């Protein structure tokens, strides 16, 4: 494939023999590379074009079609995010409602099993952790129970990325939806799942369809997956 035939945001870099896909996210330029040596020129270009297309679709979400609804318990605020057949519950502290209700919230990264709750306000996007903790950089904030949808402050911890002890000091939040740390029950596109999460430098996630497997089997598989993730990441006390 010739350079002239590539769409905007996809380039061939002859210096390292890769095809690069570029996109804008939170006003920063990000990049994903595909090796020509590994895939061949045509396949590398195809992968880069598809990746760029997915990122554009993912990031240019039509916020006018996103619906946010709030429900309250004694201590929590529960946000239901709905978007074209997709539905997700996100939990906050009730006291943070005034802070979060000015944003339009949506889920980013579901296609890559790395869901992130993002808020849209005045043409800008904000990570939910930054909003809740009033910080600019949320990269060093982890979810203690591994659940990205549990945004109560008791579940958010600012850490030193080299401090494994802090990462390993995990406990199950009182509002965990499954009864096991790092396993949650949630709904995606109207389908219920049990999902296992773990993170220690990198994030892992695996979902199990309750409609196909049944409630008990999906839960058991998610628990086993969580234990295997902990073993893979070297987390032995979570």
Dist CA 33 CA 19 (whole Å): 6
How large is the average pLDDT for residues 152-162?
A: 74
Q: What would the mean pLDDT of 7-20 be, rounded to a whole number?
A: 87
For residue 226, pLDDT over 80 is answered with yes
Q: Tell me the C-alpha distance between 161 and 200, whole Å.
A: 9
**Comparing 5-9, 73-77, 165-169, 174-178, which segment has the lowest mean pLDDT?**
165-169
Say yes or no to pLDDT of 165 above 50: no
Is 53 in the same domain as 85? no
Report the distance separating Cα 82 and Cα 189, nearest Å: 9
Residue 172 has a pLDDT of 46
Whether residue 48 contacts residue 20, with contact meaning beta carbons closer than 8 Å, is answered with yes
Same domain? For 100 and 176 the reply is yes
- For position 122, what pLDDT does the model report? 78
State percent of the chain over pLDDT 70: 76
On whether both 82 and 188 belong to a single domain, the answer is yes
DSSP 74: S
Residue 27 near residue 127 (C-beta atoms within 8 A) = no
CA distances from 175 to 17, 142, 230 (A): 49, 17, 21
Provide the residue range defining the domain that includes 12.
3-59
| Residue 70 covered by a domain | yes
CA atoms within 13 A on the CB side of 159: 20
Q: Are residues 113 and 224 in the same domain?
A: yes
The verdict on 88 and 148 lying in the same domain is yes
Q: Sorting pLDDT into bands at 50, 70 and 90, what band is 64?
A: low
Residue 238, in any domain of the structure: no
- 139 and 156 co-located in one domain: yes
- For residues 104 and 221, state if they share a domain: yes
Q: For residue 164, is pLDDT > 50?
A: no
Phi, psi of 109 (to 5 degrees): 90, 10
Q: Which of 23, 42, 59 is the last residue of a domain?
A: 59
Of the listed ranges 33-37, 68-72, 96-100, 114-118, the least confidently predicted one is 114-118
pLDDT at 33: 92
In the predicted model, what is the mean pLDDT of residues 213-222?
85
In this structure, what DSSP letter does residue 139 have? Answer: T
How many angstroms separate the CA atoms of 120 and 108, rounded?
Answer: 11
Residues 67 and 96 in one domain: yes
pLDDT averaged over every residue in the chain: 78
Q: What is the mean pLDDT of residues 83-94?
A: 84
Q: Which residue has the higher pLDDT, 71 or 58?
A: 71
Are 122 and 154 contained in the same domain? yes
Mean pLDDT (whole number) for 52-60:
68
Q: Is the pLDDT assigned to residue 168 strictly greater than 60? A: no
pLDDT in tens, 111-154: 545 678 988 887 678 899 999 999 887 877 888 777 889 999 98
- State the pLDDT confidence band at 35, using cuts at 50, 70 and 90: very high
**Is pLDDT larger for residue 233 or for residue 212?**
212
Query: Can you give the length of the chain in residues?
Result: 238
pLDDT tier at 169 (50, 70, 90 boundaries)? very low
């Amino acid at each position: 494939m010739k350079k002239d035939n590539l769409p905007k945001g996809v380039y061939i870099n002859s210096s390292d023999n890769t095809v690069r896909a570029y996109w804008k996210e939170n006003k920063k330029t990000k990049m994903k590379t595909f090796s020509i040596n590994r895939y061949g020129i045509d396949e590398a270009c195809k992968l880069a074009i598809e990746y760029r297309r997915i990122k554009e679709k993912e990031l240019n979400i039509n916020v006018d079609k996103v619906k946010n609804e709030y429900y309250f318990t004694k201590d929590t605020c529960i946000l239901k995010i709905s978007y074209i057949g997709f539905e997700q519950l996100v939990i906050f502290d009730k006291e943070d409602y005034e802070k979060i209700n000015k944003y339009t919230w949506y889920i980013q990264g579901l296609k890559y099993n790395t869901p992130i709750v993002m808020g849209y306000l005045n043409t800008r996007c904000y990570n939910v952790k930054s909003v809740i903790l009033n910080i600019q950089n949320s990269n060093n904030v982890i979810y203690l129970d591994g659940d990205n949808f549990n945004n109560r402050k008791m579940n958010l911890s600012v850490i030193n990325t080299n401090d494994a002890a802090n990462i390993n000091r995990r406990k199950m939040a009182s509002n965990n939806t499954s009864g096991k740390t790092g396993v949650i029950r949630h709904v995606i596109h109207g389908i219920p799942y049990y999902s296992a999460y773990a993170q220690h430098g990198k994030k892992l996630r695996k979902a199990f369809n309750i409609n196909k497997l049944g409630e008990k089997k999906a839960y058991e598989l998610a628990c086993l997956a969580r234990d295997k993730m902990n073993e893979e990441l070297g987390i032995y006390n979570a």
